[in-house]
Amino acid sequence: MIRHQVSDAFHHETCLDEPACVPEITALRLVICSAIIVLSDFRGDAMANTGTVTLKTQRLLLRKFHILDYFSFRKWYKDAAVHRFSRGRQQKNEYDCVNFFVRRVYNYYFKRRNRHYFWAVIIDGKMMGFVGFNDNRNGIYSIYYKLAGTLWHQGYMSEAVQAVMAYMDSQDCRAIVGSCDINNIASYKVMQNAGFRQVKTVANAIHYADGSVSDSVRFRYK
């Protein structure tokens, strides 16, 4: 079974009054991120115990992410539309991009390395989305994913999630769960197309940063 929390240095959550961008912090975090990846290469089989392996589909390459992926990632991750159904702030800044990226790198190569799955979705050589799983313990994982808004409604995310789930069938997981806003029809279809079955709908389960509330649709794969 694939069995990664971040040190206190990476555990800071961005506040609403966070400055739009702090160049020194941004640069420092990218340097740290690079160092983590470089140092991990000296640990021998740095990726041998993780569940993330390279997968290919007709249009996509799914692989572990590289430090250079940040430069394509940041361009679409700051798009508020991408976070329409995210519980945090929808308008992301440079700090948010670096914070997200560095924390994933730390988990990917170190603390959660034996139970962390995270794929960069590569389209035409650029990281235009991701698919990942949170380890909920006891062999149950929850799926999450995002795709650049310019590529929506072209079947890319369904293609990525189906490929990942086919691989997850070979892993020692008790179950994989997912959820989405009842109004997020695209995400609903992605999970259905990948073989998830709807379990229930929970009223007023999602509370957004702007104060709005919505129902949550829950799914289960196994």
- Which position has the token pair 């962390």? 116
Which domain, by its residues, includes 121?
A: 8-220
Q: Domain for residue 182, yes or no?
A: yes
User: Which of 61-65, 91-95, 98-102, 217-221 reaches the highest mean pLDDT?
Assistant: 217-221
Single-letter residue type at 39: L
Q: Domain for residue 2, yes or no?
A: no
Q: Domain for residue 196, yes or no?
A: yes
175-181 and 197-207: which strand pairing? Answer: unpaired
pLDDT digits (tens, 9 = 90+) for 190-205: 999 999 999 999 999 9
The model's confidence at residue 153, banded by pLDDT at 50, 70 and 90, is very high
- Which position has the token pair 């990226």? 101
Give whole-number Cα distances, 78 to 91, 152, 219, in Å: 7, 16, 28
Q: Domain for residue 211, yes or no?
A: yes
What's the number of domains the chain is made of? 1
Rounded to the nearest 5°, which phi and psi values hold at 120?
-85, 135
DSSP state of 15: P
List the CATH number of the domain containing 85: 3.40.630.30
Q: Domain for residue 153, yes or no?
A: yes
| First-residue to last-residue Cα distance in the chain | 15
Q: Domain for residue 1, yes or no?
A: no
Strand partners, 61: 56, 122
**Using CA atoms, how far apart are residues 180 and 201, in angstroms rounded to an integer?**
10
pLDDT digits (tens, 9 = 90+) for 103-122: 877 776 776 656 678 899 99
